[in-house]
Chains A and B, each alone.
Chain A
């Protein structure tokens, strides 16, 4: 935990060795609860651009960010994910790419706790997320924006935002955080008292993203935020995301079919195909690999 970082670090890293209610964690993480001192992490630069070898190891001494290790998820007899591993660093966007049915959404659902994996682990910093119910994962500092955004149509923009902040902050602080979101997404100000059902598609997406950010999460999971949006709106959204990630040390996992726009702001990229990782590496390397793009990314 880096002192002086005001943004996303308020939450879970402080909990470190003890869980949210002060109960000590099970597991070896207790030993190295503070900070990234110790062995420097292997880093995505060491991984090859193609092939899943060079999987970085999750280690308690690596401190923050997301570690997914050997995750397998099945929907009944259908294997949606098999042995997927992934590392998402704080202060960076990690893009998860691949065609329809590759398992990208399943990955996010498993990380958020919406679906229980058959095997494997998910760790956020020192905290083990696997097996926790969704509400608890969220309360550990994870914000998940599913495909389509899912704002609550019957509530107003204000109410949607307030709900996003409610689990963490009291009235006054929620108000401050909401102002921050309004500054980030000015079009929402005019619609603040309007029902969410009356917003345009782009505004709804902004609201969904704003609602995910208002609680100052540590980890942000985004499922195809550009889906159905005009190119200009997408570009704006990505730019906002990029700025935000750098400024607040947020860990972002960005699932996209629009590989180009995702790679433009990602530091690291993982390509899924039929439930397995077929490539992982720095975004630039993955984007430059023409064969990879043709086979798995469609351009």
Chain B
């Protein structure tokens, strides 16, 4: 029973991180039909920037904010400079370009910071909390993770549902040609969409870094799990990213806790295959046939 509680809690914490990166993937995919395979690497890059900022003696929260700001800028810049030129071509071209970016960013990080493993400081204690007299596998840091991702998601929902800008962005994602006919500056909003997605990716990077060996490839596996989460939830659905993230986090945690950590990647693969076979559009996705 103890194991179950611990495994569940850590599954939730991990799941929230996957949800954050999955949200980034979903935001980009539903607007442009491109899976940004470099999303994790972009988060990695901004986390390394935070690392450098910290090494200069700046406070943690300043570095945190800097990383998020760099995420915004990086996302917008990538869309503007790299993705826009290939947007009129088949989407596969853009996807391959993002693979190229993944390799490029990991190369840059290796060149600037080196490939060895490091430690990234955590904002809060990572030792388990004590509830009553029992110690649970849920730390202050995990609480922070859950709160941070919840805050991000709430902010996104508020933006999309309650503001005119959010309405325009949704229109851009659902029907870009019609949106243009309503005076929406679609190109600009696509850039903004990538910027916001990258912000979510940067948050994911900052939340993962303290828990793992911090090197240029530390986000690779997270991206795989986030992609699984996005597919499980539905590649067009932001709430799906949250649910998919939690489902994936929990599933992997159970596999790791009960069957052994080495089987986690297999667990993710199994989850992916099952979802694609039974409900390929994802939990929150609408079945295939779109606009008539």
A interface residues (Cβ-Cβ under 8 A, vs B)? 112, 114, 133-135, 138-139, 143-144, 146, 150-155, 159, 162-164, 166-168, 171, 211, 215
Residue B211, interface by CB 8 Å? no
Query: Inside 8 A of A144's CB, which chain B residues have their CB?
Result: 181
A134 B170 Cβ-Cβ under 8 A: no
Query: Inside 8 A of B168's CB, which chain A residues have their CB?
Result: 163, 166
Residue B2, interface by CB 8 Å? no
Residue B186, interface by CB 8 Å? yes
Out of B167, B178, B183, name the residue touching A159 (CB < 8 Å): B167
A154 B170 Cβ-Cβ under 8 A: yes
B183 A135 Cβ-Cβ under 8 A: yes
A167 B184 Cβ-Cβ under 8 A: yes
Residue B180, interface by CB 8 Å? yes
A162 B164 Cβ-Cβ under 8 A: yes
Residue B204, interface by CB 8 Å? no
Query: Inside 8 A of B171's CB, which chain A residues have their CB?
Result: 152, 155, 163
Interface size on B, residues (CB 8 A): 18
Report B52 CB to chain A, min CB distance, Å: 40
A171 B164 Cβ-Cβ under 8 A: yes
Query: Inside 8 A of B186's CB, which chain A residues have their CB?
Result: 135
Secondary structure of the B contact surface, majority rule = helix
Query: Inside 8 A of B178's CB, which chain A residues have their CB?
Result: 150-152
A163 B174 Cβ-Cβ under 8 A: no
A152 B183 Cβ-Cβ under 8 A: no
Report B22 CB to chain A, min CB distance, Å: 20
Query: Inside 8 A of A163's CB, which chain B residues have their CB?
Result: 167-168, 171, 179, 182, 184
Task: For the complex, give the distance between the alpha carbons of A159 and B180 in Å.
Answer: 15
A162 B167 Cβ-Cβ under 8 A: yes
Give A166's nearest chain B residue, CB to CB: B164
B174 A134 Cβ-Cβ under 8 A: no
Query: Inside 8 A of B175's CB, which chain A residues have their CB?
Result: 150, 152-154
Task: For the complex, give the distance between the alpha carbons of A150 and B180 in Å.
Answer: 12
Out of A114, A133, A154, A211, name the residue touching B182 (CB < 8 Å): A211
Task: For the complex, give the distance between the alpha carbons of A298 and B203 in Å.
Answer: 64
Give B165's nearest chain A residue, CB to CB: A166
Report B19 CB to chain A, min CB distance, Å: 22
Residue B135, interface by CB 8 Å? no
Out of A112, A155, A168, A171, name the residue touching B181 (CB < 8 Å): A112
Task: For the complex, give the distance between the alpha carbons of A154 and B175 in Å.
Answer: 9
Report A120 CB to chain B, min CB distance, Å: 21
B interface residues (Cβ-Cβ under 8 A, vs A)? 164, 167-168, 170-171, 174-175, 177-186, 291
Give B290's nearest chain A residue, CB to CB: A153
Query: Inside 8 A of B183's CB, which chain A residues have their CB?
Result: 135, 138-139, 166-168, 215
Query: Inside 8 A of B179's CB, which chain A residues have their CB?
Result: 152, 163
A138 B174 Cβ-Cβ under 8 A: no
Query: Inside 8 A of A155's CB, which chain B residues have their CB?
Result: 167, 170-171, 174
Residue of A135, A146, A150 most packed against chain B (CB within 10 A): A135
Task: For the complex, give the distance between the alpha carbons of A167 and B222 in Å.
Answer: 40
A166 B167 Cβ-Cβ under 8 A: yes
Task: For the complex, give the distance between the alpha carbons of A195 and B183 in Å.
Answer: 21
Query: Inside 8 A of B291's CB, which chain A residues have their CB?
Result: 153
Task: For the complex, give the distance between the alpha carbons of A84 and B195 in Å.
Answer: 44
Query: Inside 8 A of B174's CB, which chain A residues have their CB?
Result: 152-155
Task: For the complex, give the distance between the alpha carbons of A211 and B171 in Å.
Answer: 14
A150 B181 Cβ-Cβ under 8 A: yes
Report A158 CB to chain B, min CB distance, Å: 10
Task: For the complex, give the distance between the alpha carbons of A76 and B167 in Å.
Answer: 35
- With A152-B175, A162-B164, A162-B167: A167-B181 Cβ-Cβ less than 8 Å: no
Task: For the complex, give the distance between the alpha carbons of A103 and B218 in Å.
Answer: 57
Known: A154-B170, A163-B167, A211-B182. 13 other contacts (CB 8 A): A114-B181, A134-B181, A135-B184, A138-B182, A150-B177, A153-B174, A155-B171, A163-B179, A163-B182, A164-B182, A166-B164, A167-B183, A215-B183
| Subset of 18 A-B contacts with CB under 8 Å | A112-B181, A134-B180, A138-B180, A138-B183, A146-B181, A152-B175, A152-B179, A155-B170, A155-B171, A163-B167, A163-B184, A166-B164, A166-B168, A166-B183, A166-B184, A167-B183, A168-B183, A215-B183
Report B181 CB to chain A, min CB distance, Å: 5
Give B181's nearest chain A residue, CB to CB: A144
Report B236 CB to chain A, min CB distance, Å: 9
Query: Inside 8 A of A151's CB, which chain B residues have their CB?
Result: 178
Give B188's nearest chain A residue, CB to CB: A135
Query: Inside 8 A of A154's CB, which chain B residues have their CB?
Result: 170, 174-175
Task: For the complex, give the distance between the alpha carbons of A179 and B291 in Å.
Answer: 28
Query: Inside 8 A of A153's CB, which chain B residues have their CB?
Result: 174-175, 291
